Structure 1
Amino acid sequence: MSHPHDAGKRTVWYRSQFSSWMIAVGVVLAIALVVIAAIDAPYRTVSLVLLLAAAAFLVTGGIKVTVSSHGVTVASALVPFLRRRIPIERIVHASARWTRPLEVGGWGYRWKPGLSAVSLREGDALWLELVRGTHFVITVDDAQTAAELVNQHLPGAGEGR
């Protein structure tokens, strides 16, 4: 039973997750490519194009995950406007379980038929079953709390679901 003072309150779960090796690779690669571009004119164009690889490591090496009554959002910690939002209406069920990167296609932002993931490490992960029969997975600490909150916000959750 909710308390009258709780009427305007919203529960939000928030976590950040970082992969130190992905960030380190991104930084070292970026520095090396900029140095090569600066000192070796014949490789300048190639080096600058390869900076996209360094950027990919940096953009996906740290994430911020938010769960609210609106749904789940996972955003890059470095470039927050790069995000994936899953509205609560598109989620059928949420669960948490130990997940290995190879189970979801590797490290970083992954896609394979029926499954998308943001995987930074082996460990606790939030698994979202979506209405179209696919899954979205985010490796993040305390995924069980996130899953419980998602399930509380699902349409029909207060009806004995």
Structure 2
Amino acid sequence: MSHPHEHSERTVWYRTQFSSWMIAAGVVLAIALTVIAAIDASYRTVSLVLLLAAAAFLVTGGIKVTVSSRGVTVASALVPLLRRTIALERIAHASARWTRPMEIGGWGYRWKPGLRAVSLREGDALWLELLRGTHFVITVDDAKRAADLVNHYLPGPGAGH
């Protein structure tokens, strides 16, 4: 559910999105690796190193996306200190469209030439066209509303200031 809030005539949009399979995979993997490390000392080091994979599933399995007059922030819902903010000054335009994970490199936090993405599932996605010609994509419900608000805050002709 999106939640716009008015504060000094400034609207803030936010949405929390979870991928149940990513979180489940992270939990199962963490439990299995911990049990293996506890039972068999010869696999302890490998199991503990592989716990990083479980942590990656958990950290990227839930996100909170915020659009405000400062820009767009995507943060881990489970570890909010892990966040990425794209300032309005770096954004040329925002749009929304149906997006498949494979067109943006897969699931989780993705890097491709000219594109960064946070992808939890197929569906509605916020596409940010950055001034340097690259894109930042976030799969999140109600992306059209988020894109409209980003464009409202952008300076230039037709901006909603």
Q: Same fold (TM over 0.5)?
A: yes
1: CA distance between counterparts of 2:23 and 2:142? 22
CA offset digits 1:126-159 (Å, max 9, x no partner)? 0000011000000000000000000000012556
- How far apart are 1:10 and its partner, in Å? 1.6
1: CA distance between counterparts of 2:65 and 2:24? 21
Aligned equivalent of 1:109 = 109
Aligned equivalent of 1:96 = 96
DSSP-derived class of the 1:30 partner: helix
Residue correspondences, number: 156
- How far apart are 1:58 and its partner, in Å? 0.3
Aligned equivalent of 1:3 = none
The answer for unaligned runs of 5 or more in structure 2 is 1-5
Aligned equivalent of 1:119 = 119
Aligned equivalent of 2:85 = 85
1:43 aligns with 2:21: no
DSSP-derived class of the 2:11 partner: coil
Assess, with a 3 A threshold, how the Cα gap between structure 1 residues 35 and 66 changes in structure 2: closer, same or farther: same
Aligned equivalent of 1:141 = 141
Assess, with a 3 A threshold, how the Cα gap between structure 1 residues 117 and 92 changes in structure 2: closer, same or farther: same
Q: What is the aligned-residue identity percentage?
A: 84
DSSP-derived class of the 1:81 partner: coil
DSSP-derived class of the 1:133 partner: coil
2: CA distance between counterparts of 1:33 and 1:75? 26
The answer for unaligned runs of 5 or more in structure 1 is 1-5
CA offset digits 1:51-79 (Å, max 9, x no partner)? 00000000000000000000000000010
Q: Which amino acid counterpart does residue 136 of structure 1 have in structure 2? A: F
Query: Does the 8 A contact of 2:60 with 2:108 survive in 1?
Result: yes
